[in-house]
Structure 1
Amino acid sequence: MTTRRAFLHWTAAAALIAQAGRATRAAETPPMLKRPIPSTGEPLPIVGCGTWRTFDAGTDAARRRELADVLSALFAAGGSVIDSSPMYGSSEEVAGALLAEAHTRERAFIATKVWTEGRAAGIAQMEQSLRYWQTDRIDLMQIHNLLDWRTQLATLREWKAAGKVRYVGVTHYTASAFPQVEAVLRSERVDFVQINYAANDRDAEARLLPLAAERGVAVIVNQPFGGGSLLASLRGRPLPDFARELGCASWAQLLLKFVLGNPAVTCVIPGTGKRDYMIDNARAGNGHFPDAAMRQRIAAAVA
């Protein structure tokens, strides 16, 4: 069975023996597209990098080198968003150290989370995040899974006013929590919401995505591969012919294009710890995107 990794390595090898002009194809790839953050108009690259599990490398030097290559690939493609959380083990500390070592903090849009109860605990956790990221300002601080959201949102607004965070948001990763997320979006002003959405996980289309657009809230999508299970189920299956219409060379690109085809989505953050996967994912960030009819075809193709 052909794995995604094997396919990517085969594709890279084939490119090396093709005509000379194709050797520079990566350099000629159009830069990643950006979409505006509604609350400010700031342009944000539409494909980022999630760090759940993948960046929990601790002191493993070899893994850290691999992850440094992932971030280099993200930046080379024109991306900037790196999303993490205190619940992701050592991911914050590892990502922060890699940015510091490569002197690339200014190229990153750091998105992390507060995930605790109580004002004092929330402040302590966010201060620890600043130390882990080796910065004095977080680009986006989110309330992870809405835990004690009223308390933490009050603190986030204070931090935003003080310049310690630039944007505030809320997150969840299960459709069962969408009614609560919807209630928060209707009652509060936040800059971002992060939710799960994929070709096989479309509950967000009914109410949350339209509401975010209506309320002027940027949307970050997690689990665009169905938590990884969808992509795994497609290994060995040929891409549908219509994938070429979108310029897609892999299932990962097609699944990301599905998510990005919804105009309410601002950025998607597939998690990866592999440079080749990051390059492949980033290529979904330019070219054409599917309209509603094409998204239906994609969903049907992966069912």
Structure 2
Amino acid sequence: MEINRRDLLKAVSTSSVAAAGVVVAGGLLKPLLAQTTATPSSTKQGEMLYRTLGRTNEKVSLIGLGGHHIGRPKEEQEGIKLIQSAIDRGINFMDNCWDYHNGGSEIRMGKALQNGYREKVFLMSKIDGRTKKAAAQQIDESLKRLQTDRIDLMQHHEIIRMEDPDRIFAVGGAQEAMLEAQKAGKIRYIGFTGHKDPVVHLRMLEIAAQNNFRFDAVQMPLNVMDAHFRSFEKQVLPVLLKDGIGVLGMKALGANSILQSKTVTPIECLHYAMNLPVSTVITGFEKMDILAQALEAARTFKPLSQEQVAALRQRTAQAAAKGEYEKFKTSSQFDGTAQNPEWLG
């Protein structure tokens, strides 16, 4: 039986979102736009801007290095050079995942972080396991590949199904492994990621609250088209801000598909995401010129006016209406755990 999104939205508890300044009407969550348009203050060091990660005191670069892309160059040394060049230019937020390129991205990053580079970065990775056993194994494998005794932020990856939160917080679920790893000093902070539907993110937050747990960070798509279709910016962002949870933006270019709409430029896409109250905008670069583009976006960023934001949204409204350029929301082609269910445990 097909589940109606309106019914799902009604099923999500609205106590926390109402407190966050979200108007609940007819079962639909309608955040006050003012909640999502205030650009946080940044500090500048060299050519990079830095923001605070949620309620932590961690300072992270406005640009985050996307872990999947550094595993794409054919030559391992090229990926390592990209990582070290990014760090040398001020990017200190390192994104990665246990499953990227079957561990290849973590292996490259582990090699790149030798010779003093590890101490310069805030290191994040993700695991897919939904059971305690699978999650614990993946955490240890990530530590080994990354050649470190601690990962600053570990995240439950691909929370894209309504049952994922229940599995993770069940007795014998992945959250038990996360908490034990945190207690042992293997990880410092805990978060989750997802790219499918804001309803699933809200359910994850609600199930966590029922278990007396508050995440340190949440990763989600935030881009110039998101506001028009299954919007994380409108539905999830206000809740995170209210609870002091660090906001990690991803897919600012929609895995480059937004550029195919020919409505916005890469720099406009990055500036729109940076203008939101995010801690960092994670973006991928497998070539030096793409890294240079991301650095240029950070160097030239200035808070956008309401008129500039409105103009970008208006320009992309028609193309964004049905999610055509956000395939991660509307198809399974970006769902690694759907294609490899054994990763879930």
Q: Decide: shared fold, TM above 0.5.
A: yes
SS in 2 for 1:183: helix
Is 2:138 the counterpart of 1:125? yes
**After superposition, where does 1:64-83 map in structure 2 within 5 Å?**
64-83=76-95
List gaps (5 residues or longer) in structure 1. 1-28, 240-250
SS in 2 for 1:195: strand
Distance apart, 1:30 and its partner CA: 4.5
**After superposition, where does 1:289-300 map in structure 2 within 5 Å?**
289-300=303-314
Partner in structure 2 of residue 144 of structure 1: 157
Instruction: Determine what percentage of the aligned residue pairs are the same residue.
Output: 25
Deviations 1:224-252 (A, max 9, x none): 11122012333xx7x7xxxxxxxxxxx22
Distance apart, 1:182 and its partner CA: 4.3
Q: Is the alpha carbon distance of 1:227 and 1:298 closer, same or farther for their aligned partners in structure 2, counting shifts above 3 Å? A: same
Distance apart, 1:96 and its partner CA: 1.3
1: CA distance, partners of 2:305 / 2:224: 13
Q: Report the RMSD for the aligned CA atoms in angstroms.
A: 2.3
Partner in structure 2 of residue 15 of structure 1: none
Contact 2:226 / 2:233 at 8 angstroms: preserved in 1?
no
Name whichever of 154-163 and 204-213 sits farther off.
154-163
Distance apart, 1:56 and its partner CA: 4.5
2: CA distance, partners of 1:279 / 1:185: 39
Distance apart, 1:108 and its partner CA: 2.1
Partner in structure 1 of residue 298 of structure 2: 285
Q: 2:269 aligns with which of 237, 244, 255?
A: 255
Distance apart, 1:137 and its partner CA: 0.3
**After superposition, where does 1:38-77 map in structure 2 within 5 Å?**
38-56=54-72, 60=74, 63-77=75-89
Distance apart, 1:53 and its partner CA: 4.8
Code of the residue aligned with 2:259 in structure 1: it is L
Contact 2:109 / 2:146 at 8 angstroms: preserved in 1?
yes
Code of the residue aligned with 1:195 in structure 2: it is M
Partner in structure 2 of residue 114 of structure 1: 127
Code of the residue aligned with 1:206 in structure 2: it is K
List gaps (5 residues or longer) in structure 2. 1-44, 320-345
Partner in structure 2 of residue 192 of structure 1: 217
Q: Is the alpha carbon distance of 1:257 and 1:274 closer, same or farther for their aligned partners in structure 2, counting shifts above 3 Å? A: same
2: CA distance, partners of 1:276 / 1:181: 37
SS in 1 for 2:286: coil
2: CA distance, partners of 1:207 / 1:184: 17
Is 2:82 the counterpart of 1:96? no
Q: Is the alpha carbon distance of 1:66 and 1:46 closer, same or farther for their aligned partners in structure 2, counting shifts above 3 Å? A: same
Distance apart, 1:222 and its partner CA: 1.5
Contact 1:38 / 1:218 at 8 angstroms: preserved in 2?
yes
2: CA distance, partners of 1:164 / 1:110: 12
Q: How many aligned positions are there?
A: 256
Q: 1:222 aligns with which of 222, 247, 250?
A: 250
Is 2:48 the counterpart of 1:35? no
Distance apart, 1:294 and its partner CA: 1.9
Deviations 1:187-215 (A, max 9, x none): 43110000111101220122210100001
Is 2:188 the counterpart of 1:166? yes
2: CA distance, partners of 1:252 / 1:73: 21
Contact 1:201 / 1:226 at 8 angstroms: preserved in 2?
no
2: CA distance, partners of 1:175 / 1:117: 19
Distance apart, 1:217 and its partner CA: 0.2
SS in 1 for 2:48: coil
Structure with more of its chain in helix, by fraction: 1
TM-score, normalization: structure 2?
0.68
